[in-house]
Structure 1
Amino acid sequence: MMRFWMKALVGLALALGGMGTAHAAWWQAQTRHFTVYSEGNDEKLRGFAERLEKFDFLLRRLTGVATPEAGSPVKVYLLSSEAKVKALARNPNIAGYYTTSERTAYAFLSRGGKDSKFDMGAEEVLFHEYTHHFMLHHFPAAYPTWYVEGFAEFFSVVKFPKDGSIQFAHVPMARVPGLVLGQPYPLKQLFARDTEGLSLRDGDRYYGTAWLLTHYYFQQKNARTAEMTRYLRDLAGGVPDIQPDRYFDGGLDALEKDLKAYMRHRLNISVLTPKEMVIGEIAISPVDPAQGALLEDELRLIHRPPAEELPGIATTIRTEAAQYPGSAYAQALLAEAEWAVEQKEAALAAADRAIAIDPQSARAYAVRANVLLERAQDSDAEGDWKAALTSIVRANRADTEDPVPLALFYRYHAMRGGKMPDLGYDGLYKAFTLLPQNPNYRFNMAQAMAFRGEYEAASILLDPIAFSPHGSGMRDAALKMKAQYEARGEKKAAAKPGVGPAGNPAPAS
């Protein structure tokens, strides 16, 4: 079974005005791939952190990813109530949330369980979203929406028996009503569309059918497996004019008939035993009092608050930070808050206080660099440019795995104009590789490649955004940029003597 997984997936590589008291007792669990913050009992925290690491191991084992993760661990915040989660997400229907800031990937959810087996619990949401995170990090490509979501749904429901094993390929019960009562979503429509504009009922059918087809693909070993692998590999590889009907014996109608027959049978689950898992150390410790007092305020600040909420957040952080004048963390966070509300001199002063306390405060140096870059742009004085560059270099030396100083280094050279040095491209590339889930770094890297005339690579880099399952302005922009880069690439190829534009090979039959 494990050999099949690795063979089947080898082609993937181608490719809150106030959130409550700020003084709750916070603990943290540090693992290889996660930093988990929790309000409350450390034993519950340890169990949750262990489940996260087991889940990460499951994904790596089944996809053949053996390389260590680059960059910072994903930060996960276990909040004391669902009300806090909904307020922070600004959505009353949210049980958990995953996204990225400019510095890290993070998620937040509540410590409580779900009310019914037909609900989608917070952990299921986290596992679903972390699977997206994992796929985007290791297998970024233009996969179809149904597969992106089906892949995440397949791994969203896992169980952790007392024997230490991990069970996966369970039925996501939250999708059962739509899948069984409403019938599977028609495959021709599933293959042809994304999730945008679906009603709640059709959304459940769509996600449920995507899960079922992925389950069929992963848990069976037959001719359909080879057909699906070839289809996904060609799609990820950019084969043009793909017609799904041509990939499956009897077309999508025959595949749909097989899928419905598969649904009527008892579906198998799979198990990884404790002997197969290597989890690593889990270190539990209390959170520093200053960080504990400001942690939820930091979440509010980084979670893209509306402009009208920023002054209130900054005011709260000022009040809290004043109680911890000796904390570099508090002063660096205050500097970020002041910068967010365009209080530049106050931001610089807070950053300097943080650096005086901790000369290795990368976050403080990054704020200092932002202020000085803006000052240098206004004055164009060599001394101001030099001061900004010095802060960027010191930020990078303080934390070589922080993408922010690396991106600032590229921005510094872009602002100064002239030919971008190779070191500037290298810095942006490392920032992107540390956090490829962040769409801004992906956009910037694509633009940098285009500036260098690498139009095909720039276009491919945009695929995960351009073919995202969910509509957005960013997806529209990525599609537009892809079209521009592809046109420029064709023009560049046509301009070479004796070389014409590439043809469109027919898809494999």
Structure 2
Amino acid sequence: MKSLRRAFLGLLMLGGAAAPAVAGWSEARTKHFIIYSEQRPDDLKAYAERLERFDAIVRFMRKMDDPALTDGGKVTIYVLPNVAAVQRLYGQVGSGVLGFYIPRASGSVAFFASKGTDSERDPTRITPEHVFQHEYMHHLMLSDWKSGISPWLVEGMAEFFGTTEIDRTGAAKIGAPPQTRAYGVRQDIGFNVEQLLSSKPASNAEERESVYGKGWVLTHMMAFDKSRTGQLDKYLRGLERGEKPVEAAKAAFGDLKVLDKDLDKYAVGKFRGMTVSPGPQPAVTIRPLSPGDSAVMNLRIRSERGVDEKGALDIANDARRAAASVAPSPFVYGVLAESEYDAKNYAAAIAATDKALAIDPANVQAMTYKARAMMAQAKADKSKADWAEIRRLLIRANRADTENAEPLWLYYQTFGKAGETPPKSAVDGLIYALALAPQDRALRLDTVRQLLVSDRPEEAGALFGVMVNDPHLPIAQQTVLTSVLAKIKSGDSKGALAMMDEERAKAEKKAAAKG
């Protein structure tokens, strides 16, 4: 298990809808991203290079590992023409949303605009680039973070790196203040320092704002105030040892009343920054999509965003028409399979995956969607369940991409759905799936639950702590998760399991009611 000192960075983002394509789409591939865009090739290349440079800067600054990724571990980014298109896709036009990310075991996806409006280029306003950088920090944090840390540091670090400015040479300026937090910081609203460091859940908008604003100031002060050099590392070591947040803070930072006063002074001073020299030129491969693949791209974007029942039926109808009128390809059949699955047309989804596999027998997306559709059929009619075939299919998918989390997770799920106890190989696969895709909350919950069943409460508690300290959680949900974690830490694994199962049943009932 890696040290918390190296493990406090991550991502979260969002998803959206786009206008009909005017030009053909292109795909850019880099070490960490798969990017789809209608930008000119030179603009797309520059965009992809900038994303890679940001990733490299964060990894360099945080001394993070940089393992090779297969497609399942990369973030897929859909670049939309403008902010209005992002907001239409998100479902809240005029909301101020500039981009969003959806973490998934099948591969996290993000939706961002290629450029903002004139007002969004105002230095006092947040930009699509800053949103991406903030959210990608969360993604990286979860990739290298194995147990929970305080919400102030989660958001403070994301804000700290979120304002990074990268020039045309690739050099980066780090440490600029997030201007949108200025009012909250200068007015000293929300939590005081002790409340902030206690990891107390925010109960209103002002307290939530202080997690971001004061979290940023405290993070910046620990990075640049020489009198406090080493204190953040000491604080994190205390959390690693299991010290309570305030105890760890007092041991590392000293008198918290003095820290509060120092923070107030620091907040109205001149903020220092630093410049990081450009690293090696990022490798970017660009290819134009075929006319047929471009024709279904907007349908894929809508499906990836997530759809309701009516939207699923509309997309499936459009996908059928498109698939019948364009050149066949695994990409086209993949869009069709996903849309038919979302519309609960499972036989049609299987037929589409079979067509994709006839062209590309190693297509992981086709194999996993076929398995999903067969599992859904088995749920509807248990007499027709062929769990052996479903598992063979998922084993094939795993062999085609051993670093893809989804086949491993689905393979584990087949045993529960069949009413069987998962074997050790399936449990080991589940745990490895979470290591590959730690951003997926449902996968994390399944893993925690299995660890409790397997009488491994210490591991379960460490993984669950990540969720409990998530600053984005609604207060009611955070309260429930805190109670579950308390039971885990007290040794009451059965009680924790009962609470988790009760909450899952409520969520499933709520989802079923929505259709």
TM-score by length of 2: 0.84
Are the counterparts in 2 of residues 217 and 225 from structure 1 also a CA contact under 8 Å? Answer: yes
Residue 181 of structure 1 deviates from its aligned partner by 5.5
Aligned residue among 100, 107, 111 for 1:108: 111
Superposed CA deviations along residues 338-390 of structure 1, whole A, max 9, x for unmatched, are 11121111112112222222222222221221233344456656982232222
Percentage identity across paired residues of the two chains:
28
Output the amino acid matched with 1:171: P
Matched, 1:152 2:153: no
Q: Provide the C-alpha distance between the structure 1 equivalents of 2:249 and 2:438, rounded to a whole number of angstroms.
A: 33
Aligned residue among 169, 175, 190 for 1:169: 175
What SS does the corresponding residue of 2:386 show, helix, strand or coil?
A: helix
Output the amino acid matched with 2:284: I
What SS does the corresponding residue of 1:109 show, helix, strand or coil?
A: strand
What SS does the corresponding residue of 1:462 show, helix, strand or coil?
A: helix
The 5 A counterparts of 1:85-100 are 85-91=86-92, 92-100=95-103
Match of 2:185 in 1: 179
Aligned residue among 408, 422, 425 for 1:423: 425
The 5 A counterparts of 1:361-376 are 361-376=363-378
Match of 1:400 in 2: 402
Are the counterparts in 2 of residues 143 and 236 from structure 1 also a CA contact under 8 Å? Answer: no
Q: Provide the C-alpha distance between the structure 1 equivalents of 2:245 and 2:154, rounded to a whole number of angstroms.
A: 20
Residue 421 of structure 1 deviates from its aligned partner by 1.7
Relative to structure 1, is the Cα distance of residues 386 and 54 closer, same or farther in structure 2, using a 3 angstrom cutoff?
A: same
Relative to structure 1, is the Cα distance of residues 157 and 74 closer, same or farther in structure 2, using a 3 angstrom cutoff?
A: same
Residue 202 of structure 1 deviates from its aligned partner by 6.2
Q: Which moved more, 1:257-266 or 1:359-368?
A: 257-266
Q: Provide the C-alpha distance between the structure 1 equivalents of 2:337 and 2:27, rounded to a whole number of angstroms.
A: 24
Matched, 1:9 2:5: yes
Output the amino acid matched with 1:111: S
Match of 1:412 in 2: 414
The structure number with the bigger radius of gyration is 1
Are the counterparts in 2 of residues 12 and 236 from structure 1 also a CA contact under 8 Å? Answer: no
The 5 A counterparts of 1:63-82 are 63-71=62-70, 72-82=73-83
Are the counterparts in 1 of residues 234 and 252 from structure 2 also a CA contact under 8 Å? Answer: no
Q: Provide the C-alpha distance between the structure 2 equivalents of 1:398 and 1:154, rounded to a whole number of angstroms.
A: 39
What SS does the corresponding residue of 2:325 show, helix, strand or coil?
A: coil
Relative to structure 1, is the Cα distance of residues 195 and 97 closer, same or farther in structure 2, using a 3 angstrom cutoff?
A: farther
Match of 2:388 in 1: 386
Superposed CA deviations along residues 154-176 of structure 1, whole A, max 9, x for unmatched, are 00011223443111111222222
Q: Provide the C-alpha distance between the structure 2 equivalents of 1:96 and 1:18, rounded to a whole number of angstroms.
A: 11
What SS does the corresponding residue of 2:230 show, helix, strand or coil?
A: helix
Match of 1:497 in 2: none
Residue 291 of structure 1 deviates from its aligned partner by 2.9
Q: Provide the C-alpha distance between the structure 2 equivalents of 1:474 and 1:322, rounded to a whole number of angstroms.
A: 45
Match of 2:359 in 1: 357
Relative to structure 1, is the Cα distance of residues 328 and 377 closer, same or farther in structure 2, using a 3 angstrom cutoff?
A: same
Residue 129 of structure 1 deviates from its aligned partner by 0.3
Q: Provide the C-alpha distance between the structure 1 equivalents of 2:138 and 2:198, rounded to a whole number of angstroms.
A: 21
Superposed CA deviations along residues 26-64 of structure 1, whole A, max 9, x for unmatched, are 222211111222222122211121111111111111111
Output the amino acid matched with 2:39: G
Are the counterparts in 2 of residues 11 and 233 from structure 1 also a CA contact under 8 Å? Answer: no
What SS does the corresponding residue of 2:18 show, helix, strand or coil?
A: coil
Q: Provide the C-alpha distance between the structure 1 equivalents of 2:50 and 2:245, rounded to a whole number of angstroms.
A: 42
Output the amino acid matched with 1:54: R
Are the counterparts in 2 of residues 142 and 236 from structure 1 also a CA contact under 8 Å? Answer: no
Residue 126 of structure 1 deviates from its aligned partner by 0.3
Residue 481 of structure 1 deviates from its aligned partner by 3.5
Structure 1 unmatched ranges of 5 or more: 1-5, 493-509
The 5 A counterparts of 1:270-349 are 270-274=274-278, 277-324=279-326, 326-349=328-351
Structure 2 unmatched ranges of 5 or more: 10-14, 496-515
Residue 332 of structure 1 deviates from its aligned partner by 2.1
Matched, 1:127 2:137: no
TM-score by length of 1: 0.85
Q: Provide the C-alpha distance between the structure 2 equivalents of 1:438 and 1:474, rounded to a whole number of angstroms.
A: 17
Q: Which moved more, 1:280-289 or 1:74-83?
A: 280-289
Are the counterparts in 1 of residues 409 and 433 from structure 2 also a CA contact under 8 Å? Answer: yes
Match of 1:219 in 2: 224
Q: Provide the C-alpha distance between the structure 2 equivalents of 1:172 and 1:368, rounded to a whole number of angstroms.
A: 46
Q: Provide the C-alpha distance between the structure 2 equivalents of 1:383 and 1:198, rounded to a whole number of angstroms.
A: 49
Relative to structure 1, is the Cα distance of residues 269 and 386 closer, same or farther in structure 2, using a 3 angstrom cutoff?
A: same
Are the counterparts in 1 of residues 18 and 80 from structure 2 also a CA contact under 8 Å? Answer: no
Output the amino acid matched with 2:194: K
Matched, 1:140 2:146: yes
What SS does the corresponding residue of 1:37 show, helix, strand or coil?
A: strand
Q: Provide the C-alpha distance between the structure 2 equivalents of 1:439 and 1:167, rounded to a whole number of angstroms.
A: 33
Q: Provide the C-alpha distance between the structure 1 equivalents of 2:341 and 2:370, rounded to a whole number of angstroms.
A: 9
Are the counterparts in 1 of residues 28 and 36 from structure 2 also a CA contact under 8 Å? Answer: yes
Matched, 1:262 2:263: no
C-alpha root-mean-square deviation of aligned residues, in Å?
A: 3.0
Q: Which moved more, 1:181-190 or 1:412-421?
A: 181-190
Matched, 1:20 2:34: no
Are the counterparts in 1 of residues 26 and 38 from structure 2 also a CA contact under 8 Å? Answer: yes
Residue 215 of structure 1 deviates from its aligned partner by 0.5
Are the counterparts in 2 of residues 166 and 272 from structure 1 also a CA contact under 8 Å? Answer: yes
Superposed CA deviations along residues 211-259 of structure 1, whole A, max 9, x for unmatched, are 111001112232x343433223323543247446633666222002212
Q: Provide the C-alpha distance between the structure 2 equivalents of 1:294 and 1:193, rounded to a whole number of angstroms.
A: 46
Superposed CA deviations along residues 464-504 of structure 1, whole A, max 9, x for unmatched, are 11111022376455434424433445899xxxxxxxxxxxx
Match of 1:62 in 2: 61
Are the counterparts in 1 of residues 31 and 69 from structure 2 also a CA contact under 8 Å? Answer: no
- Number of matched pairs: 481
Q: Provide the C-alpha distance between the structure 1 equivalents of 2:445 and 2:276, rounded to a whole number of angstroms.
A: 38
Relative to structure 1, is the Cα distance of residues 359 and 171 closer, same or farther in structure 2, using a 3 angstrom cutoff?
A: same
Residue 397 of structure 1 deviates from its aligned partner by 2.8
Relative to structure 1, is the Cα distance of residues 291 and 426 closer, same or farther in structure 2, using a 3 angstrom cutoff?
A: farther
Residue 445 of structure 1 deviates from its aligned partner by 1.1
Q: Provide the C-alpha distance between the structure 1 equivalents of 2:336 and 2:7, rounded to a whole number of angstroms.
A: 46
Are the counterparts in 2 of residues 310 and 341 from structure 1 also a CA contact under 8 Å? Answer: yes
Q: Provide the C-alpha distance between the structure 1 equivalents of 2:202 and 2:318, rounded to a whole number of angstroms.
A: 37
Residue 70 of structure 1 deviates from its aligned partner by 4.2
Q: Provide the C-alpha distance between the structure 2 equivalents of 1:17 and 1:268, rounded to a whole number of angstroms.
A: 37
Residue 140 of structure 1 deviates from its aligned partner by 3.5
Matched, 1:29 2:28: yes
